[in-house]
Amino acid sequence: MTEPLLDIRNLCKNFGALKATDNVSLDLRPGEIHALIGPNGAGKTTLIHQIAGTLQPSSGTIRFLGRDIGGMSMPGRTRLGLGRTFQISSLTLEFSALRNVMLALQARQGSSFRFFRPVMRDRSLTDPAYETLERVGLHERAMVAAGELSHGERRQLEIAIALALGSKAFLLDEPMAGMDSEGSQALTRFLDGLRREAPILLVEHDMDAVFALADRISVLVYGRVIATGTVEEIRRDPEVRHAYLGEDD
């Protein structure tokens, strides 16, 4: 079996007496989309935060590309190749869509301490940024300030930023949230192709998208993984049906 890129073992996170993450183990293998589903408050975003480095786990290990990244800062993890999108869009709102992507590109080039050359005349930033926006279908809105983009467009921009980082694995936290059905179908097709570039750990509530995309699904309930398996296995699993999908699915 292929070596997992991202390997999470026995991860726990306690907030006082609350076990937000309860002995979670899961992995992400090359070329796959691994969906993480669960009811509201199951601890999906808390888990993403720990993987991305915004929250420190109470115990357990997170390995990425064979390295223990548990003690690494969020910027460090990004530089290593872990690209994440936020559940609530997190963009530099005064900058245009293009400049948001350019910021990711300059970070990837490791060159934020250049003081003289104007970025807008730097084709090693503007050209690839525009191409990345083209990939997610946002190029016509390249010069619009991120703060003036619609909700769905901001989600697309989040993806474009993650792409521009050249990530080796993606953590996507509800990328479809708030999109209309046309938008989420387009994004589903896009993510379907994206897995060949880098595997995706996908947190998503849109079950049509999850069932269409996921190679494997893990179900999180009250901070615990109650099942991991293929779409069919998860659909049939009685505990999952009881806890989450509803008896008369």
Partner 1 sequence: MRQHLRRETLVNAGLAVLLLAAPAIAAMAGEPFYVTLATRMAILALAAVGLNFVLGLGGLVSFGHAAFFGIGGYAAGILATHAFNQEPFPFGLSGTNQMLVIWLAALIASGIVALLIGLVSLRTSGVYFIMITLAFAQMIYYFAISWPAYGGEDGLSIYVRNAFPGVNTLDPLSFFLICYVLLMIVLAFFATLRNSRFGAALQAARQNPVRLASVGVEPFRIRLVAFVISGMITGLAGALFADLNRFVSPSMLSWHMSGELIVLIILGGTGRLFGPVAGAILYILFEYFLGGITERWQLFLGLILLAVVLFARGGLIGLLAGKVRHD
| Closest separation in Å from C-beta 206 to partner 1 | 23
Q: What is the DSSP letter of 146?
A: G
Question: Within a 10 A sphere around the Cβ of 225, how many other Cβ atoms?
Answer: 21
Where does this chain touch partner 1 (CB under 8 A) — which range of 64-72, 101-109, 186-194, 241-249?
Answer: 101-109
Phi-psi region of 66 (alpha: psi -120 to 50; beta: other; left: phi over 0): left
Q: Degrees (nearest 5) of the Cα angle 168, 173, 174?
A: 130
Give 108 or 224: the residue with its C-beta nearer to partner 1. Answer: 108
Give 84 or 141: the residue with its C-beta nearer to partner 1. Answer: 84
Interface residue with partner 1 among 11, 24, 47, 165 (CB under 8 A) is 165
Please report whether residue 52 would count as binding partner 1 according to CB under 8 A. yes
Please report whether residue 47 would count as binding partner 1 according to CB under 8 A. no
Please report whether residue 86 would count as binding partner 1 according to CB under 8 A. yes
Interface residue with partner 1 among 15, 39, 143, 180 (CB under 8 A) is 143
Please report whether residue 127 would count as binding partner 1 according to CB under 8 A. no
**Residue of 248, 175, 183, 169 whose CA lies nearest to 205:** 175
Interface residue with partner 1 among 12, 65, 72, 74 (CB under 8 A) is 74
Residue 184, burial from CB neighbour count under 10 angstroms (0-12, 13-18, 19+): buried
What b/e sequence results for 32-45 when a residue is b if at least 16 CB atoms lie within 10 Å of its CB, and e otherwise? bbbbbbbeeebbbb
Chain contacts with partner 1 (rule: CB under 8 A) = 52, 54, 73-76, 78-79, 84, 86, 90-96, 99, 102-104, 106-108, 111-120, 122, 125, 143, 145, 161, 165
